């Protein structure tokens, strides 16, 4: 499943990011803790260069703690710090300012040496659609300056936000990249970063069952009361449908209904915390 999708506003956003990097001290990149690799935009990676960066592993409560900790160990280096957060509840966000101060300590010290005691820290917020950028900014600003939506592509224009932590944040629209390989496409679709409208949702649900069967079979059995678990993902999906009453006239499975239900429950963590990606090598970046 390869997807080619690069709307015009995403091209514009890429140019804006590049043009505005000189205005900020650091970049805050938000990723989905469940799909840390797939929610890394290689376009952003190229644009940022050696700019100091904080990676927020957002929705960390939806992922397995042990996996998220492993990602943190792999991703951190001299120019990058990693924080586990939840931008909806605010969990972990109190560590952001100290992390930025640590990351920028040499620059802040140079300012103090020049007599500038109070240095405003400016940071650009970047990330793919639907990873929680607007929720993060709203929580930091303690109001609803930025628009929030559960659909990709809600934020469209650049905007500066002052926070009560004395930070200035430059918001940018979420951007995807021109081509996705199959695994990345599926991970983005599973978590809602790609609009359901452009996917075959029934096939997507089938692939999710297939994926969860490898590492989270017990979660599926427990959540849906499955008495038998098959090697065939389609059979498992059909059994889930019957257990949940997703049946149409004649006793046939309502595949669309069970697909919507399954994806909603996965995205809402009704099966418990699930990580779809593990770090494989050092320095994932």
Q: Is 4 annotated as a binding residue?
A: no
Give me the numbers of helices (H) and strands (E) for the chain, helices first please.
Answer: 11, 8
Phi-psi region of 283 (alpha: psi -120 to 50; beta: other; left: phi over 0): left
Q: Is 193 annotated as a binding residue?
A: no
Q: Which strand (E) or helix (H) includes residue 30?
A: strand 26-32
Q: Is 87 annotated as a binding residue?
A: yes
CA dist 256 to 123, 206, 223, 261, Å?
Answer: 42, 11, 19, 9
Q: Is 131 annotated as a binding residue?
A: yes
Q: Which two tokens stand for residue 209?
A: 């069952």
Q: Is 268 annotated as a binding residue?
A: no
CA distance 182 to 68: 23
Q: Is 146 annotated as a binding residue?
A: no
Q: Is 60 annotated as a binding residue?
A: yes
Q: Is 50 annotated as a binding residue?
A: no
The one-character DSSP state at 150 is: S
Q: Is 230 annotated as a binding residue?
A: no
Q: Is 132 annotated as a binding residue?
A: yes
Q: Which residues fall within 8 angstroms of residue 35, CB to CB, at 6 or more apart?
A: 187, 188, 190, 191, 276, 277
Q: Is 218 annotated as a binding residue?
A: no
Q: Which two tokens stand for residue 66?
A: 């042990």
**Which among 3, 10, 1 is positioned nearest to 153, based on CA atoms?**
10
Report the C-alpha dihedral over residues 255, 256, 260, 262, rounded to 10 degrees: 10
Binding residues for GTP: 58-61, 86-87, 130-135, 174
Binding residues: 58-61, 86-87, 130-135, 174
């Amino acid at each position: 499943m390869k997807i080619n999708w690069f709307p015009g506003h995403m091209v514009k956003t890429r140019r804006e990011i590049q043009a505005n990097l000189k205005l900020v001290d650091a970049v805050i990149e938000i990723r989905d803790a469940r799909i840390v690799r797939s929610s890394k935009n290689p376009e952003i990676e190229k644009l940022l260069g050696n700019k100091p960066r904080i990676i927020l592993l957002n929705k960390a409560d939806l992922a397995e703690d042990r996996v998220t900790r492993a990602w943190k160990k792999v991703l951190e280096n001299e120019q990058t710090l990693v924080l586990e957060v939840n931008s909806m509840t605010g969990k972990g966000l109190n560590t952001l300012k100290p992390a930025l101060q640590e990351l920028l300590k040499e620059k802040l010290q140079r300012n103090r040496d020049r007599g500038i005691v109070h240095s405003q820290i400016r940071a650009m917020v970047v990330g793919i659609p639907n990873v929680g950028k607007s929720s993060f900014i709203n929580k930091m600003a303690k109001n609803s300056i930025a628009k929030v939506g559960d659909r990709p592509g809600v934020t469209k224009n650049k905007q500066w936000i002052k926070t009560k932590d004395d930070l200035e944040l430059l918001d940018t629209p979420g951007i995807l990249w021109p081509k996705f390989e199959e695994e990345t496409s599926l991970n983005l679709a599973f978590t809602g970063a790609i609009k359901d409208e452009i996917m075959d949702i029934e096939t997507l649900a089938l692939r999710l069952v297939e994926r969860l069967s490898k590492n989270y079979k017990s979660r599926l059995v427990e959540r849906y009361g499955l008495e038998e678990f098959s090697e065939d993902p389609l059979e498992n999906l059909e059994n889930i449908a019957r257990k949940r009453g997703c049946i149409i006239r004649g006793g046939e499975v309502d595949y669309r209904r069970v697909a919507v239900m399954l994806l909603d429950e996965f995205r809402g963590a009704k099966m418990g915390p699930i990580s779809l990606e593990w770090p494989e090598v050092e320095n994932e970046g």
